[in-house]
């Protein structure tokens, strides 16, 4: 049995330590906001934060998350930056199909926590690992700039 700190709450799971964090979150804890995309850490749909840093949960074993603060899309609005990002996303109607958006929001929030006023180059670098099949990249960039200005 392992204890995890997810969105500020303790969750106990009895799962093999090599199980990807994505499946622990979705199947064991019931937090389905984190999405399965490619399973190879290439698309960013499964992005969560470990101690504030974005990671791809499909390739992160449970053992790497033990003792760390895990933040998922379900808990990101508890931070001021996460709330601003979500408000900007809604204000600019960023999602089209929406499947990738939880990962996009998690990466954008991590970027703004590190660089509160990012340039377009900063945004491109931070978001490069997040794929949007619908091509909402211009709205994503605009929403990040809007969130940086305080939504």
Say what the pLDDT of residue 73 is.
98
Q: What is the pLDDT of residues 14-61, one digit of tens each?
A: 999 999 999 999 999 999 999 999 999 999 999 999 999 999 999 999
From the list 110, 21, 28, 103, the residue with the least C-alpha distance to 62 is: 21
Band of residue 150 on the pLDDT scale cut at 50, 70, 90: confident
Q: What contacts 43, CB < 8 A, 6 or more positions away?
A: 37, 100, 103, 129, 130, 131
Say what the pLDDT of residue 33 is.
97
Query: What pTM value is reported for the model?
Result: 0.96
Q: What is the pLDDT of residues 120-146, one digit of tens each?
A: 999 999 999 999 999 999 999 999 999
Residue 151 above 60 pLDDT?
A: no
Distance, in Å, from the CA atom of 102 to the CA atom of 86, rounded to the nearest integer, reads 10
């Amino acid at each position: 049995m392992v204890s995890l700190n997810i969105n500020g709450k303790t969750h106990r799971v009895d799962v093999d330590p090599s199980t990807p964090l994505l499946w622990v979150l979705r199947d064991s804890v019931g937090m389905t906001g984190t999405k399965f995309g490619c399973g190879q850490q290439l698309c960013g749909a499964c992005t969560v934060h470990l101690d504030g840093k974005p990671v791809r949960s499909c390739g992160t074993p449970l053992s790497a998350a033990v003792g760390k603060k895990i933040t998922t899309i379900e808990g990101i609005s508890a931070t001021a930056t996460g709330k601003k990002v979500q408000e900007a996303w809604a204000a600019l109607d960023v999602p089209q199909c929406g499947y990738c958006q939880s990962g996009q929001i998690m990466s954008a929030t991590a970027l703004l926590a590190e660089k509160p006023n990012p340039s377009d180059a900063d945004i491109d670098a931070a978001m490069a690992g997040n794929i949007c099949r619908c091509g909402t990249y211009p709205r994503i960039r605009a929403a990040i700039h809007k969130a940086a200005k305080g939504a």
